[in-house]
Structure 1
Amino acid sequence: MDLKEIGERVARERAQAGLSQRELAVRAELSQPTLARIELGERPALTLAELDRVAAALSVPLTLLTKGNPVRQRMQVAARASEGAEEELRRAEGLVGEILALDDRLDRFAPDDHRADRQRAARLKRVLTEVVDAEREGRDLAEELRERLGLGLGPVPDLAELVESVIGLDTAALTLPQGVSGFTALDPAREVTISVVNTSDVPERQRFSLAHELGHVLLSDGVAAHRLDGRRTPAEKRCDAFARHLLAPAEGIRRWMECLSVSEPGRRECAMAARHYGVSLPVLLIQCKELGLLTDSQAKKMQGPTGRELAWTYGWGPQYNVECQAAARVRPPRRIMERAIEAYRAGRIGVRAIASLSGAEPRITERELEEAGIRPPQVALSGRVDVRGLIARRGRPAYRAAEPPEDGQERR
């Protein structure tokens, strides 16, 4: 066995379970220094019995520690990233892989009651293997989805909630590396798909990225390389069209302009329409050109201001600041968070697993859970376990005494 690799897996699974080294050491009946050496790969030898106790304490199969996590090995990814961002892309894959691995782990503690949701999403999917007309195909899918979901011509108030609760797909906002705006990962064995957007993006860009990712999922296009020689691929253009028409339907924009009694909208009218539909000004201008409300030259003259500049210019600056603050926060997949809370309440995972999902400090997360009335069982792992009593009841010396002295210290 490669003890260094095994140690890295133990550390990774311990973090996944939200346990400190001390907490896992107590569960596995090891001393904390011994566990630390195992995780660092510094133990000269490691018996299968010891490793089996660690696996049992983590509630994972022994083979997961000896051979690795099958979820990460089988995970399929499709990320939207700028050119030259390969290293950032690998880091982003690691973040999403951790979430999928936790979801797989939770199957041992909490039943997955969301399979019907995923079946509902499957019924919405199409299979278009070749792009013939990117704009038309993207628009048709968006209009079909809007009709099936009863969205009419109005804005989508909470796209993430729509995707998770109505369509049945997992979404998240994570702090992804710079250059990675959107990310979709699939665990084919469990048929779990997660679409992720970057917390560093502004609200309107986040919404567009999520809608774009939804397009790839519903179209089942299996795209892996999303930029070709610096140009957007036809599949990317099709999903751009889908996102535009899903978030800002052309007929809805036409009627909006009619309500304003303008035949040739200016920047103010376009900014207000973009605000109404929750999209960026460039997206709104593309729709106006498609409708024949603006020429290319007119739309080009309106380009330039950022969403923040438009918000403060036309009167919704304070609201926009609040939305930017919300967009900058980590938002875990609701379904997975729900299952993790259930496992935490049952004492099967630690608070650090919840904190890792939510992007918060463990102490803050624990306090918030306490305030919500959510607590693990009374026999907690946070230092209340009587280690000496446990050893005495078993009638054998501490495991630390069976180990060589740590850091040159004498045995006591």
Structure 2
Amino acid sequence: MRMDLQQVGARVRRERERAGLTQRELAELTDISQPTLARIELGTRPRLTIAELDRLAMAIGVPLRELTSGSPVRDRVRIAARTAGVPAVALEAALRRAVDILVLDERLDRLVHGGRPSAAGIRPLAADLSLPDPSASGEDQGRVLALAVRRLLDLGGAPLADPAELAERLAGVDTAVVDFPAGIDGFTLTDPVRAVTLIVVSTNAVTERQRFTYCHELGHFIFGDGTETHLLDGGRTSAELRCDAFARHLLAPQDGIRAWLGVNGPGGESAFDERRCALLARHFGVSLMVILIQLERMGMITGRQVERLRGPSGAQLAWRYGWGPQYAGKQEISRTVRPPQRVLERATTAYQAGKLGIRVLADLQGQDPTVTETALTAAGVIPEPPRIRRADMHRLLTRTRSAAPLQHPSREQEE
């Protein structure tokens, strides 16, 4: 088997660090000297046998193929990255961080007994929904589906407490807040083999934007839009507009707006000044623009009023009208990395069993390893000591009969 040993070495180093092992510890577990292991990780050792790689894989706790060929999860994950104007490097970095969560989730299937738990241990409810008439306008489809979700969950016209929790409960998906580069609000990833879907939003997005993104992506999931049709380049597809409508009506339903207005004074065009619209936006946890669009579609304000009132950010409105400190507190929470609860729970179980390193949990939570370890120790989560695992020699002999040593293509003549 002929492969690029620099790539193999990089995988060994990455998986060793994720397992929380130093080079010296891994060397002791595998009977490979530390200098030799250092050369393997750098890709400067001209020869590497299957037996050596198998010992490394067993000690780290990953399948051999992930060291030789990379993760199959990365190759099969489908990504709906609905972004435009984002530099390719930034987008790739964001996608890599999100895919890492699904790679870890798949790895935990092997490390944690008992299977992968469902959201809240309950059957997803999305299967009970009927999709709207596809011949209707995108606005009407989004509105009808949002109202169906609200009826299914008996929400009436009340604000949504937690759109992320709603997505998990309704569709059985995982949700996360990840530290993405600026310009990326979030996207959806699906592992088709394991039937796992992850909705991720960015720490750079303000709270109201995170809420809208969760609902927007949930709309794509329920409508079954897939991924390919939503890779945008400056425009917005009909599916995008339909899910915008779904998110608007799910977060700020027209009946809920009417109910709020009924309690808070009469309507009429003259009644909708900036303060009143800001209060409405705060009540439903959405941006000012979402409220303005809803009011215009309800015939309560004109397009001219929308243009006059649009512009201020949520922070500006909050500080103008008296809830600035509360708004700042919510934004602090929105800037905190939050991994999927199910993934973090299983990762913690694997860590306590000594099968996963502290670095993995720290990276998952966007923390320094020392901070994570201190918190886990205080909670009584202390890992078992690592155990030396030996390779199955019968299995290795069977493999090596048909596999030659790994070599650099350019170093085939070296020792």
TM-score range, shorter chain: 0.7 to 0.9
Q: Which residue does the alignment assign to 1:345?
A: 352
Q: For 1:199, give the aligned amino acid.
A: T
1-structure distance, mates of 2:37, 2:47:
12
Normalising by the residue count of structure 1, what TM-score does the alignment of the two structures yield? 0.87
- Cα 1:74–1:126 change in 2 (3 A) is farther
* Offset at residue 85 of structure 1 (A): 3.2
Residue from 71, 74, 78 that aligns with 1:72: 74
- The reply on whether 1:146 has 2:150 as its aligned counterpart is yes
2-structure distance, mates of 1:22, 1:327:
39
- Cα 1:19–1:262 change in 2 (3 A) is farther
| Residues 129 and 149, structure 2, Cα contact 8 Å, conserved in 1 | no
| Residues 81 and 188, structure 2, Cα contact 8 Å, conserved in 1 | yes
Residue from 248, 269, 283 that aligns with 1:276: 283
- The reply on whether 1:211 has 2:215 as its aligned counterpart is yes
Q: Which residue does the alignment assign to 2:102?
A: 100
2-structure distance, mates of 1:64, 1:77:
21
- The reply on whether 1:114 has 2:117 as its aligned counterpart is yes
Normalising by the residue count of structure 2, what TM-score does the alignment of the two structures yield? 0.86
Cα deviation digits, residues 153-211 of structure 1 (max 9, x gap): 10111222222245421011111122221111100000000001110111101111111
SS at match of 1:197: strand
Q: Which residue does the alignment assign to 1:181?
A: 185
Q: For 1:9, give the aligned amino acid.
A: R
SS at match of 1:186: strand
Please give the residue correspondences for 1:9-408 in structure 2 after superposition, counting only pairs within 5 Å. 9-110=11-112, 111-115=114-118, 120=124, 123=127, 132-165=136-169, 167-226=171-230, 228=232, 230-264=234-268, 265-377=272-384, 379=385
- Cα 1:150–1:256 change in 2 (3 A) is same
SS at match of 1:120: coil
- Cα 1:10–1:229 change in 2 (3 A) is closer
Q: For 2:244, give the aligned amino acid.
A: D
| Residues 171 and 332, structure 1, Cα contact 8 Å, conserved in 2 | yes
- Cα 1:19–1:187 change in 2 (3 A) is farther
Equivalenced residue count is 382
| Residues 344 and 351, structure 1, Cα contact 8 Å, conserved in 2 | yes
Q: For 2:115, give the aligned amino acid.
A: D
Cα deviation digits, residues 348-369 of structure 1 (max 9, x gap): 1011110010000000000011
- Cα 1:148–1:88 change in 2 (3 A) is same
Q: Gaps (5+ residues) in structure 1?
A: 386-412
Q: Gaps (5+ residues) in structure 2?
A: 389-415
* Offset at residue 212 of structure 1 (A): 0.7
2-structure distance, mates of 1:169, 1:84:
26
Q: For 1:38, give the aligned amino acid.
A: I
* Offset at residue 129 of structure 1 (A): 11
Q: Which residue does the alignment assign to 1:5?
A: 7
* Offset at residue 254 of structure 1 (A): 1.1
* Offset at residue 239 of structure 1 (A): 0.6
Q: Percent identity?
A: 49
Q: Which residue does the alignment assign to 1:402?
A: none
* Offset at residue 237 of structure 1 (A): 0.3
Q: For 1:22, give the aligned amino acid.
A: R
Cα deviation digits, residues 90-129 of structure 1 (max 9, x gap): 2222111111110000011213342476952561576789
Q: For 2:38, give the aligned amino acid.
A: A
- Cα 1:19–1:160 change in 2 (3 A) is farther
Q: Which residue does the alignment assign to 2:411?
A: none
SS at match of 2:339: coil
